[in-house]
Amino acid sequence: MSEQHIAIYPGSFDPITLGHLNIIKRASHIFDRLIVCIMVNSEKHGLFPPEERAELVRRATERFPNVEVDCSHELLSEYARRKGAHVVVKGLRAMSDFEKEFQMAHINRRLNPDLDTMFLTSSEKYTFLSSSVVKELGSYGADLSEFVPREIIGDIERKIRERQAGLGRA
């Protein structure tokens, strides 16, 4: 059997947006398997805890049979090695993303010479979109339907309301 081409799409996904989903859909057409991995950064406390973020990504990507969702505390270079993946997929929104991503791509290749980074340019519809923008808009009660997958809008609104009421601890 020929080797499967596996790619990792890493990020915070706090929460997943339509910009992320657009990259997932395109990358899933290029690779045999795409693993969307929530990279857990212990210094950063998000709106959602990592397992809940993963659950939202799972729900939003159910229709893509070759997409899996995972969480990891590992270094990306180690995680990719363990999964047998040779490609990291990244989305580029603007030049402002480029410098950091360029540096990360070099570091990852230094740590794991079998690992390449592939950049997909954001669809122009989503170049302005980030998880932070979604959280900011959500905190004002704005309509999120143009920014996040429809299946998860209720979860985001609920989490933001809990936060605002001082009940949620993410």
Residue 38: exposed, middle, or buried by beta-carbon count in 10 A (0-12, 13-18, 19+)?
buried
Closest CA to 73 of 37, 39, 103: 39
Binding span for ligand ADP by CB under 6 A among 61-69, 87-95, 109-117, 155-163: 87-95
What is the 3-state composition of the chain as percent helix, strand, coil, each rounded to the nearest 5?
Answer: 45, 20, 35
123 is catalytic: no
Q: How far apart are CB 20 and ligand ADP at their closest, in Å?
A: 5
Nearer to ligand ADP, 134 or 165 (CB): 134
- CA–CA gap between residue 60 and residue 143 (Å, rounded): 18
Binding marks (x or -) toward ligand ADP, 17..56, rule CB under 6 A? x-xx--x---------------------------------
118-157 positions binding ligand ADP, by CB under 6 A: 122, 126, 129-131
- CA–CA gap between residue 66 and residue 30 (Å, rounded): 11
Q: How far apart are CB 3 and ligand ADP at their closest, in Å?
A: 25
Q: How far apart are CB 2 and ligand ADP at their closest, in Å?
A: 28
Select from 34, 48, 50, 90 the one that contacts ligand ADP (CB under 6 A): 90
131 is catalytic: yes
- Is residue 134 within 8 Å of 12, Cβ to Cβ? no
